[in-house]
Amino acid sequence: MIETDLPITVAAQSADILGEVPLWCERTQRLWWVDVRRPALQSFDPATGRHTAQRLHPDLITGSIALREEGGFLLATPGGLFVFDPATGEAARRIADPLQGAAGMRLNDGKCDRRGRFWVGSMHDTRREPLGTLYRVEPDGRCTAMLDGFVLPNAICFSPDDRTMYFADTHNQVIWAFDYDIAAGALSNRRVFKDWTHQKGRPDGATVDAQGYVWNCMVASGQLVRLAPDGRVDRVIQLPVTNPTCPAFGGEGLATLYITSHSQRFTPQEQAAEPLAGALLALDVGVRGLPEPRFGAAPAGR
């Protein structure tokens, strides 16, 4: 059954063209995210309700971000991976360039594992062809191409026990699961986790809750789906936007689920009919999330 009566609030009327990759930072007590079509790093403070947007250099159009153990963020851009700390105001510094200037290519969705590595997928920005690669990025900037042949990489996230990694190709409407060796940063046993090819919606960003269930935003259908570890659909929540893009747990106790959205390619008439398109939404889904891993961190015992 599709849930349609769950209270949903507007955390920030950010009017994003392509809002993406929200992350909760326990140090700043803010939610951070980007608009892939505008060079800015955005934040929302639930204690004050304040929404801020810090402009970045025009070359730093960002597909995804990660928190850094040393402070600030890792930015995944067409020109490579940059470290940037909004608190210092220093210029962003490039640490790796996996794309090497390949025409039309950019970095898209990315997430850190709990050993401080960053996993990020590449794609062509306009051609929907299988030109994308999944990269593993070490804290020292070394990049390894792990898999290729993807059109629109998304939904990178990890199970609470670090034994499973999830990854999707939005264009082909499939989410895969992999056995994950966190000590080696190695993938094996690729398998279909959820096949959405029979649905209108397409799998975009995802996160995993403390119970090990995957929350996935479905663009085009406006749905938020909770998937059990075996791929079974556990819940479907209808959202007030057609194109939700990525979920993240944040706030006190990681009990609030935040969702970015997009208004990309909307006509003025469509935008008027859907005023929340591009907003940051928030809702209580009754479960808690997991702390966001940081780039460069390697917790003891892992």
Q: What DSSP string runs through 233-257? A: EEEEEE-SSS-EEEEEEESGGG-EE
- Predicted pLDDT at 188: 98
Q: Contact at 8 Å (CB) between 260 and 282?
A: no
Along the chain (302 residues), what's the average pLDDT of each consecutive run of 10 residues? 93 96 98 96 97 93 96 96 90 94 96 98 96 97 97 98 98 98 98 95 98 98 98 97 98 98 91 94 98 84 43
Phi, psi of 59 (to 5 degrees): -75, -10
What does each C-alpha distance from 174 to 110, 142, 199, 285, 299 come to in angstroms?
A: 17, 29, 11, 24, 32
- Predicted pLDDT at 224: 98
Residues 162, 204, 209, 284: which is the catalytic one? Answer: 204
Q: Is 45 one of the catalytic residues?
A: no
Could you report how far apart the first and last alpha carbons of the chain are, in Å? 39
Q: Contact at 8 Å (CB) between 287 and 213?
A: yes
Closest CA to 230 of 157, 164, 147: 164
Distance CA 127, CA 45 (A): 37
Q: Contact at 8 Å (CB) between 22 and 31?
A: yes
Q: What's the pTM?
A: 0.96
- Predicted pLDDT at 91: 85
Closest CA to 236 of 271, 196, 275: 196
Distance CA 133, CA 144 (A): 10
Phi, psi of 182 (to 5 degrees): -70, -30
- Predicted pLDDT at 79: 96
Closest CA to 20 of 207, 275, 229, 265: 207
